[in-house]
Structure 1
Amino acid sequence: MSAKTEKATYTHGHHASVLRSHSTRTALNSAGFLLPYLKPDMKILDIGCGPATITVDLAEYVPQGHVTGLERVGDILPQAQALADSRGIKHIDFVVGDGNGLSYPDESFDVVFCHQVLQHVGDPIGMLREMNRVAKKGGIVAARDADYSVFMWFPEIDGLRDWQKLYDQVARYNGGEPNAGRFLHSWARQAGLEDVRHTVSSWSYGNKEDVKWWSETWQERALKSSFATTALEGKLATIEDLERISKTWKQWGEDVDALISIPSAEIVCFKH
């Protein structure tokens, strides 16, 4: 068991605008690549579970098993537990912990999973190595992460590239890798995983309701989330810059033809 602690800073934070975004994530739209491999009696560890919408969904797929949601920020876990309780899920628990220094013995879980986490980690290879350590022989290590440099949107409004550039700067200032998706398969092999299967999928928002939701989320996140706080504290942007980005997302959301697609790479690694 490792005593290592994570030194990078989570770029998004847990502002209400961020949690609204994360709460739309489900096992189907965010872990569909993993679902075919699940068996009813599996024991799953979900690292960086956040509000646990994916975590609680995963519990539905392992009714005779158990799911543990692990999160560095304990403040969000009562919301996670409340979601599990509201759905009558009993075979689940939530703990505060560090994915780069897990407190579990070797070979504790059938599946060790993280979603949109490794992009925020200072040592993603080390975390994958730790995930591999606590996975059972014959078990699975799985991860999914976006690649911010290849987001696709329409229309190409002045200011969205400024947001993309600033996000990259903020994420790197925090010690992360915003284009983590393209590295996942290589990081896994460097962590000692040999049987690595790689796919790519996207969240796509193009109908009126989804566009409005994404637009309003980033209008607020650009000004009030940890992204904004770090941009200002790190002197990466001024409040005027952030206000301009917020207005850009508003302008984008008002276009009748607006759409955005967010690609993420996925890995499923089998421990032999």
Structure 2
Amino acid sequence: MTVQAYVADHSAPVLRTHAWRTPQNSTAYLLPHLQPTSTILDIGCGPGSITTGLAALVPSGHVTGIEPTSPPLEAARALAVSEGITNITFQEGDIHALPFADESFDIVHAHQVVQHITDPIAGLREMRRVCKTGGLVAIKESAYLHCYPEAEEMAQWQEIYYKVAGERGTSPHPGARIHVWAREAGFAPQDVQCSTGSWCFRTREEREAWGGNFAERSVGSPLSKLAVEKGYATEEFFERVRDAWLAWVDNEDAWFGILHGEILCTKRD
């Protein structure tokens, strides 16, 4: 049985981090392939910022956003209403057993989702199944990140995250090998187009949006609780991680970059 092994939660700072994402800053590799009539499945839609943005770009089409649990969906539905977007639906759904018929969507999209599941190949097979022949499966995952200046606490926090995620059977930052998973899920190598994208958080506003949310997520998060329970760190350590993030936000020279791997997979049969 494949399972979702998400080590975060759907608390306010997590949803704020996810709500920063839009089609423009997170799916540029996909945008040239949208048509006004495209039907799109957005897996792991979170608070719906990408989902709602995609719906605005396909006014004669339809976008369906799914999450394995209901908490983020209330915010997603509220965002769509506030934006006046009506060609959109949100529902619960599991990437391992998508509740849709074969050949249902022109585009099946997942942004930083397969890193959180224990069998990404099974997830990609399901994405391929519900994609129409001639359609696209689009996946974006982080591959590498770097922070300047990097406090010792930040480096230790990342090591703890890798350890906890690995024990739960997931693959942090797998963007460099998602094309391999696509081939193993049934796509021919020539039908998988690879690219890279990046985020850079540099201005005061960007540092507050990124570092401020991670400071708030440092103490009392599912990751910190698991780490303390397993003896990997103490609650005092995570308080120091929070303080390191806040100091990073206040540093005018601070910079945070993330490199993403992207794939567009064409379904031929």
Does residue 190 in structure 1 map to residue 184 in structure 2? yes
- Which of 242, 246, 249 is residue 250 of structure 1 equivalent to? 246
Q: Which amino acid aligns with 1:170?
A: V
Q: Which of 65, 73, 86 is matched with 2:69 structurally?
A: 73
Q: For 2:192, what is the secondary structure of its paired residue?
A: strand
Q: How much has 1:226 moved relative to structure 2?
A: 2.2
Name the structure 2 match of 1:31.
27
- Name the counterpart of 1:15: 11
Rounded to whole Å, the distance in 1 between the matches of 2:245 and 2:253 is 14
Counterpart for residue 160 of structure 1: 154
Q: Deviations over 1:129-164 (max 9, x none)?
A: 1100110000000111112xx312211322221122
Counterpart of 1:50 in structure 2 is: 46
Offset at residue 185 of structure 1 (A): 0.7
1:60 equivalent in alignment to 2:56: yes
**AA paired with 2:171?**
E
Q: TM-score, normalised by structure 2?
A: 0.95
For residues 230 and 246 of structure 2, the distance between their equivalents in structure 1, rounded to whole angstroms, comes to 25
**How far, CA to CA, are the matches of 1:234 and 1:28 in structure 2?**
40
Q: Is the 8 A contact 1:50 1:76 kept in 2?
A: yes
Amino acid of the structure 1 residue aligned with 2:99? S
Could you tell me which residue of structure 2 aligns to residue 270 of structure 1?
Answer: 266
User: C-alpha separation between the residues in 2 aligned to 1:159 and 1:49?
Assistant: 31
Contact 2:15-2:72 within 8 A present in 1 as well: no
- The one-letter amino acid of 1:189's match is R
Work out whether 1:171 is the aligned partner of 2:165: yes
Q: Per-residue CA shift, 1:28-80, capped at 9, x if unaligned?
A: 10111101001111110001101010000000111111110010111221111
Shift of 1:246: 1.4
8 Å Cα contact 1:18-1:225 kept in structure 2: no
Partner Cα separation in structure 2 for residue 98 and residue 252 of structure 1? 37
Q: Partners in 2 of 1:233 and 1:68 — Cα distance? A: 38
**Aligned partner (choices 105, 109, 119) of residue 115 of structure 2:** 119
What amino acid is the match of 1:60?
A: A
Aligned residue identity for 2:148:
F
Aligned-residue RMSD, C-alpha? 1.3
The amino acid of 1:200's aligned partner reads T
Structure 1 unaligned regions, length at least 5 = none
Q: In structure 2, how many angstroms separate the alpha carbons of the residues matched to 1:233 and 1:181? A: 30
Give secondary structure in 2 for the equivalent of 1:180: coil
The answer to whether the Cα contact below 8 Å between 2:179 and 2:194 also exists between their aligned partners in 1 is: yes
Q: Secondary structure at the match of 2:71?
A: helix
Query: Which piece of structure 1 moves more, 122-131 or 172-181?
Result: 172-181
| 1:135 equivalent among 125, 131, 136 | 131
Tell me the secondary structure at the aligned position of residue 49 of structure 1.
coil
Q: Confirm or deny: 8 A CA contact 1:223 1:243 kept in the other structure.
A: yes
User: What residue ranges of structure 2 are gaps of 5+ in the alignment?
Assistant: none
Structure 2: distance between partners of 1:94 and 1:9: 21
Match of 1:199 in 2: 195
Aligned length: 266
The one-letter code matched in structure 2 to 1:227 is: L
